[in-house]
Amino acid sequence: MNIGKLLTKSARTFPENLAITCGTKELTYAEFNDRANRLANGLNRLGVRPGDNVAVLMYNCPEMLESMFACFKAGCGVIPINFRLHPREFAFIIDHSEAKVVIISSEFSEAMVDVHGDLPRVSDILTVSTVPEPFLAYERVLSAESDQFEDVEVAPDDVAWLFYTSGTTGLPKGAMLTHRNLLAMTMNFYADMCPGFGPNDVALHAAPLSHGSGCYALPNIGKAAANVILEEKSFNPEQVLKTIESHHVTNMFAAPTMIKLLIDCPAIDKYDHSSLKALNYGGAPMLVDDLMQAMEKLGPCLVQLYGQAESPMTITYLPHADHRLDGDSDRMRRLASAGMPRTDVEVRIVDSDDNEVPPGEMGEIVTRSDLVMRGYWRDPEATAETLRNGWLHTGDIGYVDDHGYLFLMDRSKDLIISGGENIYPREIEEVIVQHPAIREVAVIGVPDPVWGESIKAVVSLVPNREVTQGELIDFCTEHIARYKRPKSVDFVEELPKNNYGKIVKRELRAKYWEGKASHVI
């Protein structure tokens, strides 16, 4: 089924339901569908055909969802680009994806004028609001077209979304997500992440629609739920809390860094957030200490997900029932896990020869399901390596316990090998973050003439709190084996993060490994 039919069907059954609200702008499902149909017709008039690609570069706004669904309906691949990227980075994605048309919000007009000459495949650029020459006005394109459109018949494995990776270890790769993948992701959301979700629910989009929040717009639209889009271009925790109260938000996706900003916000007790049924968090590991604080302050609404661009948002999950502060020792231990495989997903832990290892033994996490991408766009070698033997090789290291719960340790590139011992930074980070003076932490391996690598902690402090290197190392000695404790600590104002809010350990390691061989650079 064309994933665009999610909107078509919701508009038919619930035409007067609120579909999108953003600032003072509101669209019903009938209006949302009509505008997506007009844009699909407009893309056809511009020469876009099924199988072509269209890039979308916008701050979060209603036109972002309109553009995505117009592409789905027209049988095109959509490439939502993270608005935080540098112009050179989004120019690379537009050119690499062979996008025929680019749709932008006016904030990116100047940047697109600068890079337009480097995009020979792009025939037209549509701009919302201010329109420099020779670009086209988004609203003018819509006004010239019919609001009737017959959704294109697609094959299940036709590309619907080219999801470009964050590129922290090199140039970003375009994961080809098919209509089959996105439908499986949607149905999995209903089954596991938010059972009972329906047309009376309200979803808040405070994270970029180009990434996780955009993925979760699909199941919201499939059930004719309301989508509240914040106009802010950066995450404002008090505004998020205020919006949850005023719109009675029931469902939201957030990265762990966003949840930490929420629970640290002085205004968290000022607003009523009891309407939240599912605060779905993922995209990076969440330290247990932070998670327990979130559970105390936000109540029984948290649901964890573990996934990748290559298996969108969906490999394992830790459901509501496992987010408890009063559980027995097994349940408390599971708070450090990434949960259990989703309903229709297989997960294994394998060794370097792709042999499955027993429970409790470390190895690479691999998965297979209808959610796994078709491959990487224009990169058969990376596709063959990542999808070898019919399984998606995630590059993540972890283990499963006897009950099938997955425990993520680290990315394989983040593993520290010191004196022949494999050391997993997350285990050390879980300890360090418990110190009351620590706000954020990243543990990395740095060169050591005797041991090969030694352990370094890079930390930022809570405002007006202090701790010395020696005190922090002693604190670790009280909780973990001596060989795992950091040998040194660096103090920084802020840890480097990529455009999705993940700490970039590669950037931290680079200055220590410059001119030296390393298995992680």
**pLDDT for residue 287 is more than 90:** no
Cα(286)–Cα(359) distance, integer angstroms: 23
Q: Which of 97-111, 235-249, 414-428 has the lowest mean pLDDT?
A: 414-428
Per-residue pLDDT band for 426 (boundaries 50, 70, 90) equals confident
Cα(301)–Cα(19) distance, integer angstroms: 23
Domains, the chain, in order of start with CATH, read 5-296 (3.40.50.12780), 415-513 (3.30.300.30)
Q: Are strands 340-341 and 226-229 parallel, antiparallel or unpaired?
A: unpaired
Cα(485)–Cα(196) distance, integer angstroms: 45
Predicted TM-score (pTM) of the model is 0.84
Q: Between the CA of residue 9 and those of 6, 15, 280, 429, what are the distances in Å?
A: 6, 9, 25, 47
Determine the Cα angle at 518 with ends 516 and 521, to 5°. 105
pLDDT tens across 344-373, in order?
A: 999 999 999 999 999 999 999 999 999 999
CB 459 within 8 A of CB 488: no
Per-residue pLDDT band for 430 (boundaries 50, 70, 90) equals confident
pLDDT tens across 82-93, in order?
A: 888 888 889 999
Residue 248 has a CB neighbour count (10 Å cut-off) of: 16
**pLDDT for residue 315 is more than 70:** yes
> What phi, psi does 262 have (nearest 5°)?
-65, -50
User: By C-alpha distance, which of 406, 330, 332 is closest to 367?
Assistant: 406
Cα(257)–Cα(289) distance, integer angstroms: 13
Whole-number pLDDT of residue 87: 87
Per-residue pLDDT band for 227 (boundaries 50, 70, 90) equals very high
> What phi, psi does 317 have (nearest 5°)?
-150, 150
More confident residue, 369 or 482: 369
Whole-number pLDDT of residue 499: 63
Q: Between the CA of residue 404 and those of 140, 248, 429, what are the distances in Å?
A: 54, 35, 24
Whole-number pLDDT of residue 453: 84
What is the rounded average pLDDT for all residues in the chain? 91
Per-residue pLDDT band for 63 (boundaries 50, 70, 90) equals very high
Per-residue pLDDT band for 518 (boundaries 50, 70, 90) equals very low
pLDDT tens across 14-40, in order?
A: 999 999 999 999 999 999 999 999 999
CB 446 within 8 A of CB 453: yes
| Token pair recorded at residue 130 | 């201010």
More confident residue, 502 or 73: 73
Whole-number pLDDT of residue 515: 63
Residue 306 has a CB neighbour count (10 Å cut-off) of: 28
Q: What percent of the chain has pLDDT over 90?
A: 73
Whole-number pLDDT of residue 14: 98
pLDDT tens across 456-474, in order?
A: 999 999 999 999 999 999 9
Whole-number pLDDT of residue 234: 83
Whole-number pLDDT of residue 520: 39
**pLDDT for residue 9 is more than 70:** yes
Cα(187)–Cα(326) distance, integer angstroms: 31
Q: Are strands 136-137 and 53-57 parallel, antiparallel or unpaired?
A: unpaired
Per-residue pLDDT band for 126 (boundaries 50, 70, 90) equals very high
Whole-number pLDDT of residue 149: 98
Cα(251)–Cα(279) distance, integer angstroms: 6
**pLDDT for residue 159 is more than 80:** yes
- DSSP conformation letters of 181-237: HHHHHHHHIIIIISTT--TT-EEEE-S-TTTHHHHHHHHHHHTT-EEEE---SS--H
**pLDDT for residue 506 is more than 90:** no
- Highest mean pLDDT among 214-228, 247-261, 394-408, 452-466 belongs to 214-228
